[in-house]
Amino acid sequence: MLDRNKIRKDAERYLMDGNYGKATEELGKLCVIETNDPWVWNSLGECFANTGDTGKAVKNFLMAYKKFLQQNDLQSALSALDRVLSLDAGNKEAGESRARLLTKLSKEDNKPVNSTAKNIPIFSEIEEHELNDILKIARAISFPEGRTIIEEGSKGDSIYFIVSGIVSVSKKGKDGKDHVLDTLSDGDFFGEFGFFTGGKRAASISSASAVELYELKKQDMEDVAQKHPHVSKVLVDFYKKRVLDNIIAMTPIFSELDKTERMDIVERFGLLVMEAGKTVVKEGDPGDAMYVVKDGLLQVSTVDNDGREVVLAQLGEGDIFGEVALIMDRPRTATVKAAKQSRLMKLNKADFQEIVGKYESVKRIVMQIINDRAADTVRHLFGTE
């Protein structure tokens, strides 16, 4: 007897690895036992598209469209038709179906905002007209019980909001087995680290019951944020609470603070956007701030004795810099420039000094760092052990 869960997991793994031949084999088995699952047909379409078999790709995407339509998942149905037209721009069936679907979606756009969406914490801080624009780009998806939604270690730039149902959060232990860490339900969200940083997923998420979700992709959300500045502010605050807080918790200076104390620090960080080529800090300048890289890429360099620039490192999402010069009250030892447009979270010197004065544990750790640096300097100058 075929084990559908094992077959699906194998298919998902092969898809992630880009092994489309093996993925096609496993998905072919699923077609027989889960014929009404649009994910199967959509995934087959991607396999054939990536191996150059346009005819089979189009056929499977059209099948996925029909299955999505049966589930009333109109946004996913539209995406399937768009994939068909990206491969075969003159496809009459896809073109006519897309026109009908767009008419149906435009009518739904005029309906009142879904009250369930208003109850999701981040959406509750957004005005109704802003939420309408967000829901237009949100992909409504559903999973039956026992499905993997996010795989630990995979890449992704989507954030998911739970409309209804329960998901479990798990992580592989040293024994190689999945260990459940938490469960999330209506109004909760997950995937924010991939959404904000583009990094690998830190845990696996699976449906503990049938679930209804909203999926939002990073680029789509940023397009809405450009139109609605208030949405951008909500996203930055959201980043602070869910991502920056975790980064701060792992920073030695703040490691002994509790959640409430860390939030006091997190709220003091401001957003700084640096265009490509712009200098963030310059070697020799005073250490007047510390930074966390929200997204982008920065280059750290110094000048050697011959006046030549020497690249020391590159910094990306989640990296921290500038804290040593800030603690030691010394000039910058290197120059940091934006290699491409980058967004940084900045903590000014005045706020940092207030934090040191307010929290005894931070003061103690800062003093220890200063003393350790002084001891290293003495050993270096006098050769003492």
Q: Which three-class secondary structure string do you get for 140-192?
A: EEEECCCCEEECCCCECCEEEEEEECCEEEEEECCCCCEEEEEEECCCCEECH
Instruction: Name the residue with higher pLDDT: 24 or 227.
Output: 24
pLDDT at 237: 79
> pLDDT value at position 382?
53
HSE on the CB side for 240, CA within 13 Å?
Answer: 20
Residue 70 has pLDDT above 60, yes or no: yes
pLDDT band at 198 (very low <50, low <70, confident <90, very high): low
User: Quick check: 339 pLDDT over 50?
Assistant: yes
Least confident of 45-49, 178-182, 376-380: 376-380
- Lowest-pLDDT range of 49-53, 99-103, 106-110, 331-335: 106-110
User: What pLDDT sits at residue 221?
Assistant: 81
Residue 44 reports pLDDT greater than 50:
yes
Q: Is the Cβ–Cβ distance between 201 and 155 less than 8 Å? A: yes
pLDDT recorded at residue 375: 60
Structure confidence at residue 199 (pLDDT) = 67
pLDDT digits 0-9 by tens, 86-123? 889 899 998 899 888 888 776 655 444 455 666 676 77
Beta strands in 6-136 (DSSP E): none
pTM over the 0.85 mark: no
SS3 content of the chain, % helix, strand, coil (to 5): 50, 20, 25
**pLDDT above 70 as % of the chain:** 90
Q: Is the model more confident about 372 or about 263?
A: 263
**What Rg value do the Cα atoms of the chain yield, rounded?**
25
Please tell me the predicted confidence (pLDDT) of residue 278.
94
Q: Residue 30 above 70 pLDDT?
A: yes
Supply the pLDDT for residue 281.
92
What CATH fold (topology level) applies to the domain 114-227? Jelly Rolls (2.60.120)
pLDDT mean over 20-42: 86
The edge-to-edge listing of strands for the beta sheet with 139-143 is 139-143, 211-217, 158-164, 189-190
Given a cut of 90, whether residue 280 has pLDDT beyond it is yes
Q: With 70 as the cut, is the pLDDT of residue 296 above it?
A: yes
Q: Which residue has the higher pLDDT, 135 or 349?
A: 349
Angle at 194 between CA 276 and CA 155, to 5 degrees: 100
pLDDT at 351: 92
**Domain 250-382's class?**
mainly beta
- Taking CB atoms within 8 Å and a gap of at least 24, the contacts of 224-227 are 224/130, 224/133, 224/134, 224/137, 227/133
So what's the pLDDT on residue 110? 45
Q: Where in the chain is the domain with CATH 1.25.40.10?
A: 1-111
- Counting residues of the chain whose pLDDT is more than 90, the rounded percentage is 14
Specify burial of residue 350 (Cβ count, 10 A radius: 0-12, 13-18, 19+).
Answer: exposed
Q: In the chain, which residues fall in CATH 2.60.120.10?
A: 114-227, 250-382
Higher pLDDT: 114 or 244? It is 244
Task: Provide long-range contacts, Cβ within 8 A and 24+ apart, for 12-15.
Answer: 12/148, 12/151, 13/151, 15/43, 15/46, 15/47
pLDDT tens profile 149-179: 988 888 778 889 888 889 998 888 777 777 7
Q: What pLDDT score does 9 carry?
A: 79
Residue predicted with more confidence, 324 or 59: 59
As a whole number of angstroms, the distance between CA 241 and CA 119 comes to 18
| Range 1-111: architecture per CATH | Alpha Horseshoe (1.25)
pLDDT of residue 113: 45
Q: Average pLDDT in the 57-65 region?
A: 92
